[in-house]
Homo-oligomer: A and B are copies of this chain.
Amino acid sequence: MSSTPRYRAIADDLTGKIRSGHYRAGEALPAQRELSASYGVTMMTLRQALQVLSGEGLIVQRAGRGTYVTPASAEYPLDTLRSLGDDLRRQGHPLRTEVLSVAVRRAPRSLTRLLGDAPAGHRALRLVRVRHLLGRPAVHQISWIAEPHASAVKGTDFTETPLYTALADAGARVHRATERVRPALLTAPVAALLRRPAGGPVFVSERATYDDQGALVVLDHATILGELLEIRAERKATDLSLHWVSQP
């Protein structure tokens, strides 16, 4: 039996719908009476769920008007949203990017699932890179860039231009990202590309990056050698920063 209270399950479901773009920034949610009916709960329970979202800044409620997904904020410095490359450059580590391939391909399920309304045969730009740290291959990275951003950046020389810089130059407003990191063993194909023996400990990271309309921009899949990199989290009561650092 799930021990998740119903109000929390509803909050999680609505959060997922907002984050996936089902409800976009600035858009009104269905009326609370309608939502409570569709989830089969009372107004009290539904409103408790909405309290959670409101507390997390995802929605705003206006008496007499409606419930809205929090409008997109103004453009902001990406201080807390930092890529691996930025973290390492900031630490003075030379990072070289080797581009293995750039091609428009049929989008994988992992991408179309996040796009929601993507039609069959949907295409995206697939970018495969190896990042070299201190002269050694350290990270294998596959990025899928969704349309319309794919068309906008596909002519870019990614050995010289970071992907997110190209996206910003093309007008993409990166707003938020979710990232999942788990440990794994280095597989043989990627081991060959990184010139390491298979079976060693690695991080596997999957990151989905969204624009201010809640639409997916990039899906990144990276394999990161554990012997060269670690995650360093520094937390205070008012702040949490998370970044990659090279192992000594």
Residues of A whose CB lies within 8 Å of any CB of B are 2-4, 8, 44, 51, 55, 57, 73, 76-78, 80-81, 91-92, 94, 175-185, 200-203, 226, 229-242, 247
Q: List 14 A-B residue pairs with CB atoms under 8 Å apart, sorted by A's residue number.
A: A8-B92, A51-B51, A73-B237, A78-B237, A176-B234, A176-B237, A177-B233, A179-B231, A179-B232, A181-B230, A182-B203, A182-B226, A183-B183, A240-B240
Majority SS at the chain A contact face: strand
How far, in Å, is A155 (CB) from chain B's closest CB? 28
Copies held by the complex: 2
Sorted from nearest, which 8 A-B pairs have the closest CB atoms? A183-B226, A183-B183, A182-B230, A183-B201, A76-B237, A181-B231, A176-B236, A179-B233
Contacts of A226 in B (CB 8 A): 182-184
Contacts of A2 in B (CB 8 A): 92
CB within 8 Å for A237 and B81 given contacts A180-B231, A203-B183: yes
> How distant is the Cα of A233 from the Cα of B241 in the complex, in angstroms?
11
> How distant is the Cα of A231 from the Cα of B176 in the complex, in angstroms?
17
How far, in Å, is A214 (CB) from chain B's closest CB? 12
